[in-house]
Each structure stands twice: as C-alpha cells, then as structure tokens.
Amino acid sequence: MTGPRINAERLLGRLRTLGNIGRDEGRLTRLAASDSDRAGRDAVVGWMHDAGLEVMVDRIGNLFGIWHAGDANSAPLMLGSHIDTVIDAGIYDGCYGVVGGLEVVQTLREAGVKPDRPVVIAAFTNEEGVRYAPDMMGSLVYAGGLGVAEALATVGTDGTVLGEELARIGYAGPHEPGFLRPHAYLELHIEQGPILDREGVAIGAVENLQGISWQRVTIDGVANHAGTTPMAMRRDAGQAAARVVTFLRDLISQTNAPTVATVGCMAFEPNAINVIPSRAVFTVDLRDPDEDRLRAAEATLARYLESLADAEGVTVVVERLAQFDPVTFDPAIVAAIEAAAAENGLRSRRMTSGAGHDAQMIARLCPAAMIFVPSLKGISHNPREHTQAADLQAGANVLLDVIRKLTHVASGEARSFSQQNSKLGFAYDDSFTKEGI
C-alpha cells in the first residue's frame, strides 16, 4: 500500500529507551505500580504529548493517549498493550504494542491523514500479573470482568496494596474504567513463540487466543525422618506433587490436541534435605483454544487429585487463581491484517496465540484482533528476547495500513467492517469523554 511509512529510527529508539528503564545490575524488571513502572509511564506520557495526544488515566491506572480526530461523537479505534514486565525481562513484550501504536498515530498525524473517528493508544496496568494477581488485570477491569474496588484492594507478593501504590506513583486516575468504549481494538505484539521465526513468515494474523486455567494445589502429608521412615509408610507430600507433574505430562502427550500444561511454581515444607515434605504447594497452568477440551482437562485433573489423596494418604486442596475463556477475534479485522501484509509484500499466516494478552479482555467490548511479528527462536520473558529491526518496522507499517482501512469512511474495507459488526451483534457506546487529568 502506498502512503506514509513509520519512522523506524524513532520506533526503535523509544523501545531501547523504555528497555533501559527499570534495570538493576543489568536486569530489566518493571513490575506494575513500582517506581520503575512510574518512570516508564512518565516516558510514555512524554511521547504521547510529543505526538499531540491528550493523556488520560482511569482509576485502575490504565493510561490513554487520545487523538481527537474525526467525529468526536464516534467511538474511538483503540490500539495498545502494556509496559509492565516480568522479572529479568526482554524489551519487546507489551512495549512494542504501546510504542508501535504511538508511532503509527504520530506518523499519521505528521502526514496530515484525517481518520473519521478518534484513535486511542492504551497502556494497560499489570498485564504480567507478577506483583499483583490476576494477570491482564487492567484490561480485565476495563472490560468489566473484575470490579475496580476489588482490583485496587489486591495485595501484592511484597505485601503492598495496588490502589495505594498507584496513588503513590501518581497514576491513580479519576476516570472509571471503560469510560471510552472502543469501536475496535488492535494489538501489535511479538509472537512469544517460535512459529513465525521457524517458518520465515513476517506477519501473524492472530485469529484466536487460548483459554487459560490457573490453579494452586496444596498437598498436606506428614513430615518425618528421611532415613528411618520406610517408603511404604510415608505420607510424602513431595512425592504426591511429583506424581501430579508426571500425570499432566502423560495426559497431554497421549492426545493430538493443542492442550498444554505447566507446573511453574513449587515449594516444599519444611524444605530440608533430610525431612520428608509435610506440604507441597504448586501451580498448574492449563491452556487450550477449545473451551470444551480445557474444561475436560480440568475435570480429569480434579479426578486424579481425588484418587491421589486416597492412594498417598494425603489431603489435597485446590484454589482457582484465574480462568479466562478462549477468544475468537473478529474475522473482518483478521482479513484486513492479511490484506495489509500482502500489500506490503510480506508473507502472513493465521495463527493462535498461546499467551494471554490484553486483547483477550478488550474483545469483550468490541471487535478485536492482533498482529504478531517473529521473535527469534520464540524466546520471550527472557533478556534474550529479540526481534529483528526490519520485522519491528514491518509490523508497525502493517498496523498503520490496517488503521487507515478501519478509520477511512470512503474505504470499502471500513464499510465491510461495519457490516461485520452489525452481523455479530456488537453494541457501541459512542459517547466520547474529553476531560483530562
């Protein structure tokens, strides 16, 4: 497609700048509502002002840069992601979506392009869920899936309260989450998986997102001497926990389904080399793009835990930490992504996202989709996370072209998109708040 192209030097420079905020002895850690998060937010706010955007913040700390374009009474097109990170992170996860969206808007403004509706850049709070649970919290609250008061009262892993921390860093805004109801939502992201890199494909048109089930399992047995207690007479919580790990691996390996299972955290008590564990606490992460298969895996695990308690003489307690249903993205937007890739001379493929994203939550409010670019060897949540500059540039230009299609009244793509919304029964609140903070 002919037309304006993004400023690659500005995009990459901002990603590097943000990637240096929150480094401690070389490690990048920018947890939600921390001092480093405040510094990252301050940088993004400065760039939003540089792009001529109005900045607004809601009560859960979601940050918005608003381009008051087109009809002020029309629902805005929203772009975004997040800037909080995991511990010892890479520089692209989430940040690419925020900085890339901002770069696209700034490029369009500088080129004199006039979309038919407002465009909003969103940076959602606590997507990673490292300090405060659940993950994707800011977008979940924004979509109405979690009450704002409940979210603000969340106690973090360090004993802090989210609402108090947002106020401390100056990002507890006055606006109610959901105050802008989007016309549509697009999120630009690195893949966080190996498929695009392995296949040499430049653009992923993400058509659906896996459902996610998080549980915490606590197994209680009896502590005893490791040398004097016969194996047959033990009530070993550690042994029981290990059986769950192997059970999950065997369960998933026996099918051709895309279900995945992970035990990511595990702790024993009393955690001594010569004492049989009296308690084991671990997490189970189950994911599948099909809701029925995901529920079946949960049920199978529940039955196994019940039988394990009897077999090992232990007690088992399960706590649900989070549950998100699979999401199917808007087919018209997915098709627009494929078309924009082709017009830019780029190979694309449709794909499922194995990771959770803010788009998963905002899809409850409006048609949504995601654009993926390759991540070298599929590495993410790791300082070795890397995407080639050419791929970052290409993804942002595809996003730019999709935005032009979705915000231009005269385009056939925009009319098709509107018809698709009507068929799918989406309702919009076209009120547009211009108050600032």
Q: For residue 258, which phi and psi values (nearest 5 degrees)?
A: -80, 15
Measured CA to CA in angstroms, residue 4 lies from 8, 270, 348, 400, 414 at distances of 12, 62, 21, 9, 19
Last residue of one domain, picked from the residues 285, 302, 324: 324
- The predicted pLDDT at position 436 comes to 34
Q: Which secondary structure element, helix H or strand E, spans residue 288, and what is its range?
A: strand 279-288
**Residue positions forming the annotated binding site for Zn(2+):** 82, 93, 128, 189, 381
Measured CA to CA in angstroms, residue 66 lies from 12, 106, 117, 297, 402 at distances of 22, 11, 11, 43, 18
Does 43 share its domain with 147? yes
Does 222 share its domain with 205? no
In which domain, by residue range, is 353 found? 8-210+326-431
Degrees (nearest 5) of the Cα angle 86, 92, 98? 100
Last residue of one domain, picked from the residues 267, 301, 324: 324
Does 186 share its domain with 255? no
- Give a yes or no: residue 314 inside a domain: yes
Q: What is the CATH number of the domain that holds 204?
A: 3.40.630.10
For the chain, 437 residues long, the average pLDDT of each consecutive 10-residue run is 90 98 95 98 98 98 97 95 98 98 97 95 97 95 97 98 98 97 97 96 96 95 97 97 98 92 97 98 96 96 98 97 91 97 98 93 96 97 97 98 81 39 30 31
- C-alpha 405: how far from its chain's center? 25
Query: Tens of pLDDT along 299-328?
Result: 999 999 999 999 999 999 999 988 888 999
DSSP code, position 392: H
Query: Nearest to residue 395, comparing CAs of 427, 418, 370?
Result: 370
- The predicted pLDDT at position 123 comes to 98
- Give a yes or no: residue 437 inside a domain: no
Does 279 share its domain with 222? yes
Does 28 share its domain with 145? yes
Query: Nearest to residue 128, comparing CAs of 357, 289, 320, 322?
Result: 357
- The predicted pLDDT at position 277 comes to 98
**Residue positions forming the annotated binding site:** 82, 93, 128, 189, 381
- Give a yes or no: residue 421 inside a domain: yes
- Give a yes or no: residue 3 inside a domain: no
**27 neighbors 16 (Cβ within 8 angstroms):** no
Does 201 share its domain with 241? no
Residues in contact with 280: Cβ distance below 8 Å, sequence separation at least 6, in sequence order:
218, 219, 221, 237, 238, 240, 241, 266, 267, 268, 269
Q: Which amino acid is at 229?
A: T
Say how many domains are in the chain: 2
Last residue of one domain, picked from the residues 324, 355, 382: 324
- Give a yes or no: residue 116 inside a domain: yes
Query: Nearest to residue 75, comparing CAs of 332, 364, 358, 366?
Result: 366
**349 neighbors 205 (Cβ within 8 angstroms):** yes
- The predicted pLDDT at position 427 comes to 29
**142 neighbors 60 (Cβ within 8 angstroms):** yes
- The predicted pLDDT at position 435 comes to 32
Does 138 share its domain with 34? yes
Q: Which two tokens stand for residue 58?
A: 């809601």
Measured CA to CA in angstroms, residue 67 lies from 7, 252, 345, 387, 404 at distances of 18, 47, 29, 28, 14
- The predicted pLDDT at position 430 comes to 33
Does 222 share its domain with 277? yes
Q: What is the CATH number of the domain that holds 256?
A: 3.30.70.360
